[in-house]
Structure 1
Amino acid sequence: MALAVSVVVPAYADGERLSICLDSLDGQDAEVVVVAGTDADATAAVDHDAVDVVVRDDGGGAGAARNRGAAAASGDVLCFTDADTVVPDGWVAAHARHYEDGGVVGVGGPARPLEDSASDRVLFKLLSDYWYRVSWPVGFVQLPTFNCSYRASTFHANAGFDEAIPFMEDTELSMRLRDAGEFVYDTETEVRTSARREQDEGYLSLFATYAKGYLDYYVLDRSPDESYFESR
């Protein structure tokens, strides 16, 4: 019996981008759950043929929004993507097939930029693909929320995303669950996502911020509620 899949998409003031994201999910074999803010554009965008469930965001942050969506989802597998991300045809099926193996609890994949500049393409290849390929084998298992999924039973049994962490909550969850079962990195699930944040903050600055987070939390074993995480 095929496993049912739900896709959770948090949406804030991303009405136009959300509509494009939902276009890419339309027709894929999944229940689509949108966690929408009160922004008028986001509210209008959820009136889309692809959307099955709408949950109102409570303002608790990205982790809380994803948890609210997951709580409303009915699937055996929970896929997560972002409102400024476009998934390829067959994306849901590509994630779902791995869960036919009962030992798999999470799947992640790469991204390339929606913006079509050479520098963005090269830097995304390094930081949103090759970095994962290098870091996963040495223990830094990171499922980016623009392109990831979890077995729903494992996700719920472990309380989902830590809502106290406003930054790197996706990494925290995948690191916390890495001993719960097998994680798969699947390059065939590659999505396209906006490089707005990278362009605004700068690739080097953003990479340094993440590197410090890995060092503080995972190497030095500092609690995620310390000032570094609270400051993000």
Structure 2
Amino acid sequence: MPDTDASVVVPARDEGRRLERTLDSLAAQRFAGRLEVVVVTSGETTESVARGHSIVDQVLVDEQRAGPGPARNWGATVADGDVVLFTDADTVVPPTWVRRHCRHYVTPDVVGVGGPLRPLESGLRHRACFRVLSDWWYRACWPVGFVQQPGPNCSVRRTAFESVGGFDASLRYLEDTDLSLRLSREGTVVYDHTCPVETSARRQDRIGYARLFLWYLVGYLEYAVPGLSPTRNHFR
């Protein structure tokens, strides 16, 4: 799908200058189609950075600050690309990122694409934990149908995204996993291990890898084990 129009939605809450690095990486994309960038901002410095960058087509000011899911939904609503990609404001994407995602949509059945995460920070601990939790974990789960497009590195076919109603705005976390599983009922969700992005490990530093893993594991089990939690209250 080399000539497809694509839109990138970036939720950016109080990110300030981190957002500038993300936008610089989007400005460096090698993509044959038309690329639109929509930033959903909150915080004066973040808004100023978004409005001052030449790659940004639309800036939406999120006064509700309801979270990344609602912000992504709002951005997708105003974006007009056939393929909508999502990344975060503390993430740097490679120059081939948009092109690599869009190539999968040549296959009509593909409704979503996800890829691995790498840490922006240096250090063996970060590199090893990201490799296990944000790459090998996906490779192991994807073949059994437990697809999990990570929020900083995912894309959707617009028609499928609209069909499933976008991100569930009521979820506090794992909204990207929830979307991926609902999308998988509409068609094929692809994991492209050759398309990594680099994202900040500040959350892992703050909370700790072990605590994060256990927290997410409980949520994952609620989806993976039939009847364990039919109301999915853990996500709320």
How far does the alpha carbon of each residue in 1:73-103 deviate from its partner, in whole angstroms, 9 at most, with x for none?
0000010000000000110000011101111
- 1:221 CA drift (Å): 3.7
Partner Cα separation in structure 2 for residue 116 and residue 50 of structure 1: 28
Instruction: Indicate which of 160, 170, 176 corresponds to 1:164.
Output: 170
Name the residue aligned to 2:40: 35
Partner Cα separation in structure 1 for residue 11 and residue 168 of structure 2: 16
Name the residue aligned to 1:23: 24
How far does the alpha carbon of each residue in 1:103-124 deviate from its partner, in whole angstroms, 9 at most, with x for none?
1101000011000011000000
Instruction: Indicate which of 216, 222, 229 corresponds to 2:230.
Output: 222
Native 8 Å contact 2:183 2:189 kept in 1: no
Name the residue aligned to 1:53: 58
How many residue pairs match? The answer is 227
Partner Cα separation in structure 2 for residue 20 and residue 184 of structure 1: 27
Native 8 Å contact 1:55 1:72 kept in 2: no
Name the residue aligned to 1:126: 132
- 1:44 CA drift (Å): 1.4
Native 8 Å contact 1:27 1:50 kept in 2: no
How far does the alpha carbon of each residue in 1:179-220 deviate from its partner, in whole angstroms, 9 at most, with x for none?
211111112210000001111111011011111001124411
- 1:8 CA drift (Å): 0.4
Partner Cα separation in structure 2 for residue 140 and residue 197 of structure 1: 24
Instruction: Indicate which of 68, 71, 74 corresponds to 1:65.
Output: 71
Name the residue aligned to 1:191: 197
Q: Is 1:174 aligned to 2:176, yes or no?
A: no
SS in 1 for 2:38: strand
Name the Cα RMSD after superposition: 1.2
SS in 1 for 2:194: helix
> Kindly, what percent of the aligned residue pairs are identical?
51
1:84 aligned partner, one-letter code: D
Unaligned runs of 5+ in 2: none
Partner Cα separation in structure 2 for residue 27 and residue 201 of structure 1: 32
Q: Which runs of 4+ in 1 moved over 3 A?
A: none
Question: If the length of structure 2 is used for normalisation, what is the TM-score?
Answer: 0.93
Native 8 Å contact 2:47 2:61 kept in 1: no
Unaligned runs of 5+ in 1: none
SS in 1 for 2:169: coil
| Alignment map for 1:87-166 (pairs within 5 Å) | 87-166=93-172
- 1:12 CA drift (Å): 0.6
1:52 aligned partner, one-letter code: D
